[in-house]
Amino acid sequence: MDKTRVAIVGLGTVGTGVARLLLDHGDRTARHAGRTLWLEAIVDRDTRRQRDVDLPAGLLTDDLSRITGNPAIQVVAELIGGLEPARTIVLELLRSGKDVVTANKALLAEHGAELFDTARALGRSIAFEASVAGGIPIIANISQCLSANQVLSLRGILNGTSNFIVTKMEEGMDYAAAVSTAQRMGFAEADPSMDVDGTDAVQKLAILAHLAFGARVHWRDIPRQGINTLHLADMRFACELGYRIKLLAVAELTQGVLELHVAPTLVRMGTPLAEVREAYNAISVIGDAVGPVFFHGLGAGQMPTASAVVADMIDTAVGRTGITFRTLELWSRREARVGIRDHADLKGRFYLRFTVEDHPGVMAQIAGVLGRHAVSIASIIQHEPDPASDGSLVPLVIMTHMTTEGATHQAMQELDRLPCVMPPSVRMRVLDRSES
Ligand code: NDP
Ligand code: HSE
């Protein structure tokens, strides 16, 4: 049987999973590739650490030239993560004639144009299925299987760590314990603040928006909020109102203009996105021909991510990636472009929580400010004061009717200046039907 020689740079959580699939299940990859994917070298800066895989002697090295200097190696998986030296290494790999597979969304969101232009100029390819939603084949679906469609809407839970933390907090675990459990289980980024502040989700959204809509938007320009500011009180109120809080990434096309944002959102219980638990990811896509399609699966973790990386290595070895890469012209100047909607104009319902003084006239003042900004109240929750507290401050929760980001933002700024309101107040978007 023919051999395609492959290599890995970065033997961490994902790299170890990829090595295990290539070494322990070579028969499987050979059956699908029609050739053996022969693991020729693994580069990691630490060659001594014990890993959860049996490596043949001499395979692991800290010397990148064992790959770049070996013309027999055709396909290399970059799995070190981060921007540098990952960018330089990927450029070196391309220049030494390798096709690259990567799981590194941070790298693509920041340097996609440069890397893709370089690969195109050199006649090489870059495959990146694992960079968004781990084991879910969303890149292939958007760029190939749904290519007869204009995607109209994309709503996703794209960060497994955040979803895991939110799920555990709903079950009673405190925030810090949930973060360290996610780290221990291998879901979190090397710097977990990228997971919890929404950076990782927004980088993935930028990649999807690029593929689905030709949106050449820098991830830093997409409005972003993470789960690191979430309070247990909001999770309890959301539950009381019939919602779960999810870190939702949204890209939606209306009248030719794209809405983009990542934010903790109250999602109606019983709808598919609300029921996504633990480190699972999900993406609800609406195409103009296919209608609604829902993808669900493990979006982080060693083997789900390795599954996507090895599939890309097989596709690259058999030549499928090269064809798609050439025809799609991703991140190129020839792509169609789309305008981005001003964040203030985004429509929606909102959840507002205030900490207010409990005395006559407070409700009237708050309703007055909301009314002046044309924000209409749909429902209000104010419970009896906690008997354990002195009762002077109480939480007040308001659900609005349809309004805009701009109107609620301005109303909240004014409300937080009222003497009867203890800032900062909380404002979150509400999603009543995740599939429409
Ligand atoms: P890890 O930190 O577990 O693994 C990275 C490995 O690369 C480590 O062994 C690290 O060594 C090594 N490394 C770092 N810098 C260099 C270098 N300059 N030269 C050689 N080796 C180096 O990360 P993950 O496996 O979790 O993630 C890898 C990539 O996959 C990232 O881009 C991540 O975003 C992406 N990804 C991860 C998922 C997951 O669930 N973990 C899911 C989807 C994508 P050291 O330990 O010494 O730093
Ligand atoms: N840290 C990422 C997550 C890994 O939790 O989703 C998958 O990209």
> Residues 69-123: pLDDT tens digits?
999 999 999 999 999 999 999 999 999 999 999 999 999 999 999 999 999 999 9
Q: How far is the CA of 365 from the centre of ligand 1 (A)?
A: 52
Tell me how far CA of residue 365 lies from CA of 23, 356, 432, in angstroms: 68, 11, 28
Q: What's the mean pLDDT in 5-34?
A: 95
Q: Between 389 and 250, where is the model more confident? A: 250
Q: What pLDDT sits at residue 273?
A: 97
Token representation of residue 426: 């909380």
Q: Are residues 222 and 313 in the same domain?
A: no
- Domain end: 241, 276, 298, which one? 298
Phi/psi for 39 (5° steps) reads -80, 105
Q: What confidence category does residue 40 fall into, taking pLDDT thresholds of 50, 70 and 90?
A: very high
Q: What pLDDT sits at residue 323?
A: 93
Q: Are residues 166 and 291 in the same domain?
A: yes
Q: What's the mean pLDDT in 47-71?
A: 96
**Candidate from 128, 131, 161, 298 with most ligand 2 atoms within 8 A of CB, to mutate:** 161
Nearest CA to ligand 1 atom 17: 45
Which pTM does this prediction carry? 0.95
Q: What pLDDT sits at residue 435?
A: 52
d(CA 133, CA 280): 9
Q: Are residues 120 and 152 in the same domain?
A: no
d(CA 77, CA 22): 12
Nearest CA to ligand 1 atom 14: 80
CA atoms within 13 A on the CB side of 115: 29
344, pLDDT greater than 80: yes
d(CA 27, CA 212): 35
* 386 domain residue, yes or no: yes
CATH number of the domain that 230 lies in? 3.30.360.10
Q: Are residues 289 and 156 in the same domain?
A: yes
143, pLDDT greater than 50: yes
* 139 domain residue, yes or no: no
Q: Are residues 104 and 184 in the same domain?
A: no
**Candidate from 8, 9, 68, 80 with most ligand 1 atoms within 8 A of CB, to mutate:** 80
Q: What confidence category does residue 334 fall into, taking pLDDT thresholds of 50, 70 and 90?
A: low
Which residues sit with their C-beta closer than 6 Å to ligand 2? 134, 159-161, 187-189, 195, 200, 299-300
Q: What pLDDT sits at residue 410?
A: 98
* 49 domain residue, yes or no: yes
d(CA 261, CA 224): 6
Q: What's the mean pLDDT in 179-204?
A: 93
pLDDT > 70: percent of the chain? 98
Q: What pLDDT sits at residue 239?
A: 96
Q: How far is the CA of 296 from the centre of ligand 2 (A)?
A: 15
| Residues labelled as active-site residues | 204
d(CA 32, CA 27): 9
189, pLDDT greater than 80: yes
Q: Which residues contact 249 (CB under 8 A, 6 or more apart)?
A: 154, 155, 156, 157, 158, 201, 202, 204, 205, 208, 261, 262
Q: Which domain holds residue 403?
A: 343-435
Mean pLDDT of the chain: 94
- E strands in 321-387: 339-340, 347-357, 377-381
434, pLDDT greater than 60: no
* 161 domain residue, yes or no: yes
Lowest mean pLDDT among 52-61, 122-131, 379-388, 415-424: 379-388
Which atom, in ligand 2's list, is nearest to the CA of 281?
6
Q: Are residues 222 and 285 in the same domain?
A: yes
* 419 domain residue, yes or no: yes
Q: Kind of pairing, strands 339-340 and 291-298?
A: unpaired
Q: What's the mean pLDDT in 233-259?
A: 95
CATH number of the domain that 379 lies in? 3.30.70.260
Tokens 């209000």, residue? 380
Sign of CA dihedral 17, 201, 140, 114: negative
Number of folded domains that form the chain: 3
234, pLDDT greater than 70: yes
Q: Are residues 211 and 292 in the same domain?
A: yes
Q: Are residues 200 and 313 in the same domain?
A: no
Q: Are residues 388 and 245 in the same domain?
A: no
Which residues sit with their C-beta closer than 6 Å to ligand 1? 9-15, 43-46, 79-81, 85, 103-104, 130, 134, 186-187, 189-190, 300-301, 305
* 336 domain residue, yes or no: no
* 335 domain residue, yes or no: no
Q: Are residues 349 and 235 in the same domain?
A: no
Q: What confidence category does residue 336 fall into, taking pLDDT thresholds of 50, 70 and 90?
A: low
Q: Which long-range contacts (CB under 8 A, 24 or more apart) does 292-297 make?
A: 292/435, 292/436, 293/141, 293/146, 294/435, 295/133, 295/136, 295/137, 295/138, 295/141, 296/136, 296/272, 297/133, 297/134, 297/135, 297/136
Interval 349-405: pLDDT, tens: 999 999 999 999 999 999 999 999 999 999 999 998 877 777 789 999 999 999 999
Q: Are residues 30 and 173 in the same domain?
A: no
Interval 154-173: pLDDT, tens: 999 999 999 999 999 999 89
Tell me how far CA of residue 296 lies from CA of 6, 137, 324, in angstroms: 30, 10, 24
Lowest mean pLDDT among 66-70, 232-236, 390-394: 390-394
Q: What pLDDT sits at residue 436?
A: 43
Q: What's the mean pLDDT in 123-141?
A: 96
42, pLDDT greater than 60: yes
**Candidate from 8, 11, 13 with most ligand 1 atoms within 8 A of CB, to mutate:** 13
CATH number of the domain that 54 lies in? 3.40.50.720
* 140 domain residue, yes or no: no
Q: Are residues 7 and 129 in the same domain?
A: yes
275, pLDDT greater than 60: yes
263, pLDDT greater than 90: yes
**Residue 315 CA, distance from chain mean position:** 23
